[in-house]
Structure 1
Amino acid sequence: MKHVLSALVYNSPGVISRVSGLFRRRGYNIDSFIGSSTEDEKYSRLTIVVEGDDIVIAQVISQLEKLEDIISIEDIDPESMVSKVLLFMKVKADVTDRVGIIVVANACNARVIEMSKEYLILEALDTEDRISEMIEIFKPYGIIELVKTGVVAMKR
């Protein structure tokens, strides 16, 4: 099961390296890792998505709490958080397919942010599951390239 961990850390050089190094040394895989500033420049917020059962996640949290950079860390209950993923996707779109692709994009709450003779670049901000569904929907059109962020989450 995927877990979203939210860690408040000191904004200091090497903190991301120390956190990711702990995962590497313990053999834990990171599905998603986002680091960002907070309302106070002395701190950063790390959002880490990890797969594992409750015992593994408890071990991960216990190990992270031992790092001097960590102020607090929490396994956020999916029911008590808001989370989003940002997607940019370049889709083949010749003149004959363009209108249909735009209609599908609108239905997926995506918007066209760039257009050329050969392709459209779409932008979408949604849940991880909805972004994955959108990628599957556009595969038949021909995805040239895509990039997406990791999960950004906040407790309600």
Structure 2
Amino acid sequence: MKYLVVLLLFLGMTLSSQAQEVDFNGTTYMVKGKTILQNGADVTTSLSAAEQTGIMDALNQQKALEAEQKKAEKQIKKAENEQKKTEKRQKKAEKELKAKEKAHSRFENSSKDYSNAKAKYEKLKRKGKLSPNDEEKWLEKIEGLKEDIEKAKRKL
């Protein structure tokens, strides 16, 4: 029983989707192919030829209007997609620029730290305030800073 009800419902939806409603002279007609229905009854023969053509013209205008609306919706959707792509490209470019600026900043900071450490090491060495252990630590520190400069150069 349930299957029969579902089948009838599906069949009714299919048939109703094939018919199109048209408003003509304040009256609603259903058009199926070349048949014109009013309130479920066939009124094709009772209508004059001018009324039939008017109803068919109204149907054609309605179909054309729907087609134009679909076309406009597609264009709007396409424009939105293009805008999203443009925004994505812009964000990517901004991200790359930020990365370049960050790399440049790191390079400058690394260079500055290296030169400061080297100058301090030279100063302490000249004054004779470095023990052999301290001197080894300073050389390791300077070597590490030199490696940081090289990394920053590669990222630039």
Structure 1 length as normaliser, TM-score? Answer: 0.24
Which one has the bigger helix percentage? 2
Structure possessing the higher relative contact order (Cα contacts under 8 Å, 6 or more residues apart) = 1
Structure with greater strand percent: 1
